[in-house]
Protein backbone atom coordinates (compact mmCIF):
# COMPACT_ATOMS: atom_id res chain seq x y z
CA UNK A 1 0.00 0.00 0.00
CA UNK A 2 1.43 3.39 -0.96
CA UNK A 3 1.90 6.06 1.67
CA UNK A 4 0.58 9.60 1.63
CA UNK A 5 2.00 12.31 3.87
CA UNK A 6 -0.24 14.87 5.56
CA UNK A 7 2.16 17.63 6.48
CA UNK A 8 1.18 20.60 8.64
CA UNK A 9 3.33 23.58 9.49
CA UNK A 10 3.59 26.17 12.25
CA UNK A 11 0.73 26.79 14.65
CA UNK A 12 -1.60 24.26 13.06
CA UNK A 13 -1.32 22.31 16.32
CA UNK A 14 -3.50 25.16 17.71
CA UNK A 15 -6.42 24.38 15.39
CA UNK A 16 -9.75 24.30 17.15
CA UNK A 17 -8.52 26.34 20.11
CA UNK A 18 -8.88 29.87 18.67
CA UNK A 19 -10.06 31.74 15.56
CA UNK A 20 -13.00 29.40 14.78
CA UNK A 21 -14.40 31.97 12.32
CA UNK A 22 -11.29 31.56 10.22
CA UNK A 23 -10.41 27.88 10.74
CA UNK A 24 -13.52 26.18 12.18
CA UNK A 25 -13.78 24.07 15.32
CA UNK A 26 -11.89 20.94 14.25
CA UNK A 27 -8.64 20.20 16.09
CA UNK A 28 -5.49 18.92 14.40
CA UNK A 29 -6.33 15.47 15.81
CA UNK A 30 -9.75 15.72 14.09
CA UNK A 31 -8.08 16.68 10.79
CA UNK A 32 -5.65 13.80 11.06
CA UNK A 33 -8.48 11.34 11.85
CA UNK A 34 -10.37 12.64 8.78
CA UNK A 35 -7.27 12.05 6.64
CA UNK A 36 -6.75 8.54 8.02
CA UNK A 37 -10.35 7.59 7.20
CA UNK A 38 -10.05 9.18 3.74
CA UNK A 39 -6.87 7.13 3.27
CA UNK A 40 -8.72 3.92 4.19
CA UNK A 41 -11.36 4.74 1.58
CA UNK A 42 -8.71 5.46 -1.06
CA UNK A 43 -6.46 2.51 -0.20
CA UNK A 44 -3.57 4.60 1.09
CA UNK A 45 -1.49 4.40 4.26
CA UNK A 46 -1.61 7.84 5.86
CA UNK A 47 1.26 9.37 7.82
CA UNK A 48 0.54 12.65 9.59
CA UNK A 49 3.31 15.00 10.68
CA UNK A 50 3.13 18.50 12.13
CA UNK A 51 6.00 20.73 13.11
CA UNK A 52 6.54 24.33 14.10
CA UNK A 53 10.09 24.05 12.72
CA UNK A 54 10.84 24.78 9.07
CA UNK A 55 13.82 22.38 9.02
CA UNK A 56 11.73 19.48 10.32
CA UNK A 57 9.23 20.07 7.48
CA UNK A 58 12.08 20.15 4.97
CA UNK A 59 13.54 16.88 6.32
CA UNK A 60 10.11 15.23 5.99
CA UNK A 61 9.76 16.41 2.37
CA UNK A 62 13.22 14.97 1.62
CA UNK A 63 12.23 11.65 3.24
CA UNK A 64 9.09 11.41 1.09
CA UNK A 65 11.02 12.45 -2.00
CA UNK A 66 13.20 9.35 -1.49
CA UNK A 67 10.14 7.18 -0.76
CA UNK A 68 8.38 8.46 -3.90
CA UNK A 69 11.39 7.57 -6.07
CA UNK A 70 11.28 3.94 -4.94
CA UNK A 71 7.49 3.71 -5.45
CA UNK A 72 6.54 3.76 -1.78
CA UNK A 73 4.68 7.08 -1.71
CA UNK A 74 1.88 8.69 -3.73
CA UNK A 75 2.50 12.27 -2.62
CA UNK A 76 2.00 14.83 0.07
CA UNK A 77 -0.77 17.18 1.20
CA UNK A 78 0.94 20.20 2.71
CA UNK A 79 -0.44 23.07 4.73
CA UNK A 80 2.70 25.14 5.35
CA UNK A 81 0.85 27.65 7.59
CA UNK A 82 2.41 31.11 7.58
CA UNK A 83 5.65 29.70 6.09
CA UNK A 84 3.66 29.63 2.84
CA UNK A 85 4.20 33.36 2.55
CA UNK A 86 7.85 33.52 3.62
CA UNK A 87 9.76 30.32 2.91
CA UNK A 88 11.91 30.01 -0.19
CA UNK A 89 13.51 27.04 1.62
CA UNK A 90 10.22 25.08 1.43
CA UNK A 91 9.90 26.00 -2.25
CA UNK A 92 13.45 24.71 -2.83
CA UNK A 93 12.80 21.52 -0.83
CA UNK A 94 9.78 20.60 -2.99
CA UNK A 95 11.63 21.47 -6.21
CA UNK A 96 14.73 19.72 -4.88
CA UNK A 97 13.11 16.33 -4.35
CA UNK A 98 12.07 16.47 -8.00
CA UNK A 99 8.95 14.41 -8.60
CA UNK A 100 7.08 14.11 -5.30
CA UNK A 101 3.63 15.59 -6.00
CA UNK A 102 2.78 18.08 -3.27
CA UNK A 103 -0.70 19.58 -3.02
CA UNK A 104 -0.70 22.85 -1.09
CA UNK A 105 -3.77 23.07 1.12
CA UNK A 106 -5.16 26.01 3.09
CA UNK A 107 -8.17 25.81 5.36
CA UNK A 108 -9.09 29.47 4.84
CA UNK A 109 -9.37 31.32 1.55
CA UNK A 110 -6.04 33.13 1.81
CA UNK A 111 -6.96 35.32 -1.18
CA UNK A 112 -9.92 36.80 0.68
CA UNK A 113 -7.68 37.76 3.61
CA UNK A 114 -4.82 40.20 4.25
CA UNK A 115 -2.60 41.07 1.29
CA UNK A 116 0.44 39.40 2.83
CA UNK A 117 -1.35 36.04 2.56
CA UNK A 118 -1.93 36.38 -1.18
CA UNK A 119 1.57 35.34 -2.18
CA UNK A 120 2.79 31.78 -1.76
CA UNK A 121 6.37 30.59 -2.28
CA UNK A 122 5.06 27.01 -2.23
CA UNK A 123 2.47 27.33 -5.03
CA UNK A 124 4.97 27.47 -7.95
CA UNK A 125 6.45 24.17 -6.73
CA UNK A 126 3.09 22.50 -6.01
CA UNK A 127 1.26 19.94 -8.15
CA UNK A 128 -2.02 21.57 -7.15
CA UNK A 129 -3.61 23.95 -4.66
CA UNK A 130 -6.75 23.60 -2.53
CA UNK A 131 -7.82 26.78 -0.76
CA UNK A 132 -10.81 27.83 1.30
CA UNK A 133 -12.74 24.57 1.72
CA UNK A 134 -12.15 24.31 5.45
CA UNK A 135 -10.67 21.08 6.75
CA UNK A 136 -12.54 19.15 4.00
CA UNK A 137 -9.84 20.59 1.74
CA UNK A 138 -7.45 17.92 3.04
CA UNK A 139 -9.82 15.24 1.70
CA UNK A 140 -10.13 17.05 -1.64
CA UNK A 141 -6.35 17.32 -1.87
CA UNK A 142 -5.92 13.59 -1.17
CA UNK A 143 -8.50 12.73 -3.83
CA UNK A 144 -6.75 15.10 -6.25
CA UNK A 145 -3.44 13.34 -5.70
CA UNK A 146 -5.05 9.96 -6.45
CA UNK A 147 -6.67 11.32 -9.62
CA UNK A 148 -3.37 12.81 -10.74
CA UNK A 149 -1.59 9.49 -10.13
CA UNK A 150 -4.27 7.58 -12.06
CA UNK A 151 -4.10 10.15 -14.86
CA UNK A 152 -0.33 9.78 -15.02
CA UNK A 153 -0.67 5.98 -15.09
CA UNK A 154 -3.26 6.03 -17.90
CA UNK A 155 -1.17 8.55 -19.85
CA UNK A 156 1.79 6.20 -19.60
CA UNK A 157 -0.24 3.23 -20.86
CA UNK A 158 -1.25 5.26 -23.95
CA UNK A 159 2.30 6.31 -24.82
O1 LIG B 1 -5.70 28.81 5.98
C2 LIG B 1 -4.72 28.14 6.27
O3 LIG B 1 -4.74 26.91 6.33
C4 LIG B 1 -3.40 28.83 6.64
O5 LIG B 1 -2.34 28.04 6.13
C6 LIG B 1 -3.33 28.87 8.15
C7 LIG B 1 -2.13 29.65 8.67
C8 LIG B 1 -2.04 31.02 8.01
O9 LIG B 1 -0.86 31.68 8.44
C10 LIG B 1 -2.05 30.92 6.50
O11 LIG B 1 -2.00 32.22 5.96
C12 LIG B 1 -3.30 30.22 6.02
C13 LIG B 1 -2.23 29.82 10.18
C14 LIG B 1 -2.20 28.52 10.93
C15 LIG B 1 -2.40 28.79 12.41
O16 LIG B 1 -3.70 28.36 12.77
C17 LIG B 1 -4.20 28.71 13.97
C18 LIG B 1 -5.37 28.08 14.34
C19 LIG B 1 -5.94 28.41 15.56
C20 LIG B 1 -5.36 29.34 16.38
C21 LIG B 1 -4.20 29.97 16.00
C22 LIG B 1 -3.61 29.65 14.79
| The total number of structural domains that make up the chain | 1
Where residue 99 sits, what CATH number does that domain have?
3.40.50.9100
What is the residue with the minimal CA distance to atom 7 of ligand 1?
81
* pLDDT, tens only, 29-71: 999 999 999 999 999 999 999 999 999 999 999 999 999 999 9
Q: Give the pLDDT confidence score for residue 43 in this predicted structure.
A: 97
Q: Does pTM top 0.85 for this prediction?
A: yes
What is the reported pLDDT for 158?
45
Query: Average pLDDT, stretch 75-87?
Result: 98
Per-residue model confidence as pLDDT tens digits over 88-117: 999 999 999 989 999 999 999 999 999 999
pLDDT band at 159 (very low <50, low <70, confident <90, very high): very low
* Interior angle at CA 158, CA 152 and CA 159, nearest 5: 90
Looking at 20-24, 48-52, 54-58, 131-135, which range is the least confident one?
20-24
Residue nearest to atom 20 of ligand 1 (CA): 18
**Ligand 1 neighbours by CB, cut-off 6 Å:** 11-12, 14-15, 17-19, 23, 79, 81-82, 84, 106-108, 110, 117
Percentage above 70 pLDDT, the chain: 96
What's the pLDDT at 111?
98
* Residue 153: predicted pLDDT: 72
Instruction: Tell how far the Cα of 67 is from the centroid of ligand 1, in angstroms.
Output: 28
Q: What are 6's strand-pairing partners?
A: 48, 77
Could you confirm whether 138 is annotated as catalytic?
A: no
Q: In which domain, by residue range, is 127 found?
A: 3-157
Amino acid sequence: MKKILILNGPNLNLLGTREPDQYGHATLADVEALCVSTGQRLGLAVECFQSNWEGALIDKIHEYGRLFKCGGALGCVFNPGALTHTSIALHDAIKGVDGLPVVECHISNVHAREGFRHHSWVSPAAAGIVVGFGVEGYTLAMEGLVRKALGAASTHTHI
